């Protein structure tokens, strides 16, 4: 105790200062805490981002649940159940039309004139007409019901709005005005009776629909004129599968209850795995992430396909092969590329690259490429190429750092054993720097998936899951992305609406993705670093 006191006195004497303390803190402490507080800003900002995105976005799930509830209660779901076989049927008729077109073209190519070709396809046409007429009454019933339930839904929405208005007035203490607001409560049970009544008519129509398809396809199966037509037979097979699926639809319709509440987790899965992002629709709004996520991923994958080989080759070239003079030019130049603002890249895509790529895709000797000629000027490839250029500087500088940081004696040892420069590179340098290179690629990916302006301007902005059945052709389809949709729709939505909150949810998803990518990149660097030292 005593020694401690002496030590304190001694140190005070040595410092030779009397220190004023405020709240027990010296001036130096205050300065220290001030700086520490500023360093903590990074943590605070991250937390604030999360808090404020959640504050604006969290209400989404509740609203989406009620959105889905109205969808069920007003009977829209029921009508969609009816509509589904009709939609599938429409796809089947399209398949038959395609088959006819293919045969017609083949006949023309074999030297027949138009009339003779039509004559040869007489049996086919008879079948196609019969098949196409199968839908019959069913279509009419569905379109009538569509109007009925739409009206119910609109009334439900109006009454919900009135209810909200009344609550707001009550909240503000204006009781008289609140009492004056007339809320027209929709009796869903009564409204749904119309549906139930109509469903007997639907049953008859559906039965007729099914037997008509059966009859016409039975004729086509094994008929002489249908032999050897691959397109037709595959469509017929699909129609058999379709017929087998019909009882399932009946069962779903029988099991459907308008008053069964939609569980809250459905609202969650409808967002994460929803296949449609449809807003301001007269029928039903859907907020599904999949079209946006798949668009973002497609564009990013294209960008990485170009950026990774180019950037890593450039990194290897600059760090191992280039002469010092070349290096002095190339390195700053590539760093310069990172200074190009993304909106300028996007503008370049709109003004120059999109058109150039499309005219390239119209060149005759390139027609073997699937998806050529491109139907749209702005598509996933246009955006992907520009994003690649945006990602190259990031990947390049980090990979180049990783390669330069490999100790010299690794290289020297390899040379001493008689390895060529290339062998040294492949067997020694790249493996030693691999963790750094992988994390460079990951961070480049993070940069690409979070990039906004390029995809907003160049990706074509069509909200649909890319059609991957076209193989490589999917690269040339217009897509929409998570970043792009926020930038595009945020300015137009009403504050506090479900659409507004859905956009914030997309933002939260993006934020989490960026955190995960960062986390993995750091893990990779730490975990797989070869001990170099």
Partner 1 sequence: MNMQTHPFTKPQTSAVRAERVAFAFFRGATYVVLLAATIIFGVIFIKGADTVFTRHFPFVNVAFLTEAPETLHVFEHDGQKHELGDRAFRAYMEEKKNPTVSEENYVYSAGGIFPCIIGTFFLVVGSMAIALFVGISAAVFLNEYSKGGRVVEFLRLAILNLAGVPSIVFGLFGFGLFVLFAPVLGPTPDPSHLYLPLGFAYLNFSGWGVSLLSGWFTLAFMVLPVVITASEESLKAVPKGFREGSLALGATRWEAIRTNVLPYAMPGILTSSILGIARVAGETAPIMFTAAYVVSDRLPWQVDRFVDVFFQGVMALPYHIYVVSSKIPQNAYTERVQFGTAFVFLALVLCIALSSVILRGRLRARYKW
Query: Is 169 an interacting residue with respect to partner 1 (CB under 8 A)?
Result: no
Of 48 and 218, the one with the shorter C-beta distance to partner 1 is 48
Q: Cα separations (Å) of 301 from 337, 388, 391, 482?
A: 20, 10, 12, 15
Please name which of 2, 105, 436, 488 lies closest in space to residue 279, comparing C-alpha atoms: 488
Applying CB under 8 A, among 86, 330, 369, 434 the residue interacting with partner 1 is 330
Nearest alpha-carbon partner for 380 in 487, 297, 438, 313: 297
Where would I find the H helices in 172-229? Answer: 175-180, 188-220
CB of 279 to partner 1, least distance (A): 17
Q: Judged by CB, which is closer to partner 1: 117, or 455?
A: 455
Using rule CB under 8 A, residue 310 touches partner 1: yes
CB of 527 to partner 1, least distance (A): 15
Binding track, positions 334-363, relative to partner 1; x by CB under 8 A: xxxx-xxxxxxxxxx-xxx-----------
Nearer to partner 1, 77 or 451 (CB): 451
Distant-in-sequence contacts of 404-413, Cβ < 8 A, 24+ apart = 404/319, 405/433, 405/436, 405/532, 406/432, 406/433, 406/532, 407/532, 407/533, 410/532
Instruction: Report the C-alpha gap between 182 and 159 in whole angstroms.
Output: 9
CB of 395 to partner 1, least distance (A): 11
Helix (H, G, I), strand (E, B) or coil at 90: helix
Which residue, 279, 276, 269, is CA-closest to 292?
A: 276
The C-alpha atoms of residue 299 and residue 377 are separated, in whole angstroms, by 15
**Which CB atom, from 50 or from 102, has the smaller least distance to partner 1?**
50
Applying CB under 8 A, the span of 66-74, 197-205, 219-227, 415-423 interacting with partner 1 comes to: 415-423
Give CA separation, 78 vs 135, 153, 204, 479, in Å: 18, 13, 17, 31
Number of Cβ atoms within 10 Å of the Cβ of 301: 15
Does residue 323 belong to the site contacting partner 1 (CB under 8 A)?
Answer: no
Residues 15-54 close enough to bind partner 1 by CB under 8 A:
15-16, 27-28, 31-32, 34-36, 38-43, 45-46, 48-49, 52-53
Complex with partner 1: residue 79 or 441, whichever CB lies closer: 441
Residues in 427-446 that interact with partner 1 by CB under 8 A: 443, 446
Quote the CA–CA distance of 442 and 436 in Å, as a whole number.
10
**Candidate list 262, 357, 389, 524; residue touching partner 1; CB under 8 A:** 389
Nearer to partner 1, 114 or 516 (CB): 516
Site for partner 1 contains 423 (CB under 8 A): yes
490 sits near partner 1 (criterion: CB under 8 A): yes
Binding residues among 502-521 for partner 1 as defined by CB under 8 A: 503-504, 507, 510-511, 514-515, 517-519
Distances in whole angstroms, Cα of residue 310 to Cα of each of 5, 305, 341, 403, 528: 67, 9, 20, 15, 24
Least distance to partner 1, CB of residue 440, Å: 13
Least distance (Å) between residue 39 CB and partner 1: 4
Query: In the bound complex, what is the minimum distance in angstroms from residue 14's beta carbon to partner 1?
Result: 8
- Please give the structure tokens belonging to residue 349: 């895509």
CB of 227 to partner 1, least distance (A): 52
309 binding partner 1? (CB under 8 A): yes
Integer Cα distance of 138 and 205 in angstroms? 5
Residue closer to partner 1 by CB (options 256, 347) is 347
Q: Which stretch binds partner 1 (CB under 8 A): 103-111, 203-211, 232-240, 304-312?
A: 304-312
């Amino acid at each position: 105790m005593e020694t401690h006191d002496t030590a304190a006195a001694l140190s005070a004497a040595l410092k030779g200062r009397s220190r004023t303390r405020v709240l027990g803190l010296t001036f130096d402490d205050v300065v220290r805490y001030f700086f520490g507080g500023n360093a903590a800003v990074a943590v605070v900002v991250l937390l604030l981002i999360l808090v404020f995105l959640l504050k604006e976005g969290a209400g989404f799930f509740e609203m989406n649940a009620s959105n889905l509830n109205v969808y069920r209660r007003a009977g829209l779901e029921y009508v969609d159940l009816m509509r589904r076989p009709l939609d599938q049927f429409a796809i089947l008729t399209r398949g038959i039309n395609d088959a006819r077109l293919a045969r017609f073209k083949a006949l023309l190519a074999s030297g027949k004139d138009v009339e003779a070709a039509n004559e040869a396809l007489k049996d086919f046409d008879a079948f196609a007409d019969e098949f196409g007429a199968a839908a019959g009454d069913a279509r009419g019933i569905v379109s009538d019901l569509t109007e009925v339930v739409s009206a119910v839904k609109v009334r439900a929405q109006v009454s919900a709005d009135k209810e909200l208005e009344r609550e707001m007035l009550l909240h503000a203490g204006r009781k008289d005005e609140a009492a004056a607001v007339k809320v027209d409560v929709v009796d869903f049970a009564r409204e749904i009776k119309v549906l139930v009544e109509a469903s007997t008519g639907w049953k008859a129509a559906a039965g007729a629909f099914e037997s008509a398809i059966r009859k016409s396809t039975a004729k086509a199966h094994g008929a002489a004129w249908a032999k050897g037509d691959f397109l037709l037979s595959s469509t017929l097979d699909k129609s058999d599968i379709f017929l087998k699926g019909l009882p399932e639809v009946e069962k779903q319709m029988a099991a459907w209850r308008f008053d069964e509440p939609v569980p809250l987790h459905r609202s969650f899965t409808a967002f994460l795995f929803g296949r449609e992002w449809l807003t301001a629709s007269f029928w039903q709004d859907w907020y599904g992430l999949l079209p946006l996520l798949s668009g973002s991923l497609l564009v990013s994958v294209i960008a990485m396909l170009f950026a990774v080989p180019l950037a890593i080759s450039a990194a290897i070239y600059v760090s191992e092969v280039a002469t010092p003079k070349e290096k002095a030019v190339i390195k700053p130049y590539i760093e310069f590329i990172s200074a190009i603002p993304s909106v300028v890249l996007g503008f370049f895509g709109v003004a120059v690259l999109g058109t150039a790529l499309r005219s390239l895709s119209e060149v005759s000797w390139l027609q073997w490429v699937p998806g050529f000629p491109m139907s749209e000027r702005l598509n996933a490839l246009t955006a992907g190429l520009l994003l690649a250029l945006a990602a190259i500087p990031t990947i390049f500088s980090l990979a180049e750092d990783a390669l330069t940081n490999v100790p010299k004696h690794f290289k020297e040892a390899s040379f001493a054993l008689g390895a060529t420069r290339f062998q040294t590179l492949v067997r020694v340098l790249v493996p030693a720097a691999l963790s750094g290179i992988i994390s460079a690629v990951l961070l480049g990916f993070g940069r690409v998936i979070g990039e906004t302006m390029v995809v907003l301007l160049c990706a074509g902005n069509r909200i649909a899951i890319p059609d991957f059945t076209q193989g490589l052709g999917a690269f040339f389809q217009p897509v929409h992305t998570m970043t792009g949709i926020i930038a595009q729709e945020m300015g137009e939505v009403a504050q506090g609406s479900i659409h507004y909150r859905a956009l914030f949810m997309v933002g939260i998803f993006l934020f989490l993705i960026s955190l995960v990518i960062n986390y993995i990149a750091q893990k990779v660097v730490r975990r797989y670093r070869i001990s170099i030292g």
